[in-house]
A = this chain, B = another copy of it.
Amino acid sequence: MSSIYHGQLTVSIFGQSHAPAIGVTVDGLPAGEAIDLEELQAFLRRRAPGTGDWSTPRKEGDQPEFLSGLDQGHTCGAPLAAIIRNTNTRSKDYSNLRDIPRPGHADFTAQVKYGGFQDVAGGGHFSGRLTAPLCIAGGICKQILARQGIYVGAHIAAIGGIPDAPYDPVDLTQEALLAPGEKLFPVTDEAAGEAMQAAIAAAKADLDSLGGLIECGVIGLPAGLGDPMLDGMENRIARLVFAIPAVKGVEFGAGFAVANRRGSQNNDPFYMDGDRVKTRTNHAGGILGGITNGMPLVFRAAVKPTPSIAQPQDSVSLSRREDTKLEIHGRHDPCIVPRAVPCVEAAAAIAVYDALLEQRKRSV
Nearest CB in chain B to that of A264: its residue: B208
Pairwise interchain contact B110-A270, C-beta atoms closer than 8 A: no
Interface pair A7/B14, CB less than 8 Å apart: no
Partner of A19, one of B2, B67, B314: B67
27 examples of A-B residue contacts, CB within 8 angstroms: A1-B227, A3-B227, A3-B228, A5-B230, A6-B6, A12-B27, A14-B78, A20-B66, A21-B81, A68-B125, A78-B125, A101-B277, A103-B268, A103-B270, A109-B293, A113-B226, A125-B229, A158-B259, A160-B262, A210-B261, A211-B258, A234-B247, A245-B289, A256-B302, A258-B304, A266-B305, A280-B314
Whether B261 lies near A14 (C-beta < 8 A) is: no
- Contact check, B13 vs A229: say whether CB atoms are below 8 A apart: yes
The majority secondary structure among interface residues of chain A is mixed
Q: Is A83 an interface residue (CB 8 A)?
A: yes
Q: In the complex, given contacts A106-B288, A248-B258, A266-B305, what are 12 additional A-B residue pairs having Cβ atoms less than 8 angstroms apart?
A: A14-B69, A15-B67, A15-B78, A19-B70, A21-B68, A75-B117, A78-B124, A210-B263, A211-B262, A239-B239, A270-B316, A277-B318
Query: 6 closest A-B pairs (Cβ-Cβ)?
Result: A106-B289, A249-B251, A78-B125, A2-B227, A269-B314, A209-B263
Contact B302 A251 (CB under 8 A): yes
Query: Measured between C-beta atoms, what is the minimum distance from A363 to chain B in Å?
Result: 7
Cα separation A206 to B75 with both chains bound (whole Å):
39
Contact partners of A1 in chain B: CB under 8 A: 7, 10, 27-28, 227, 230-231, 358
Q: Are A71 and B119 in contact (CB under 8 A)?
A: yes
Q: Say whether A271 contacts B363, CB under 8 Å.
A: no
Which one, B70, B225, B361, contacts A30 given CB within 8 A?
B361
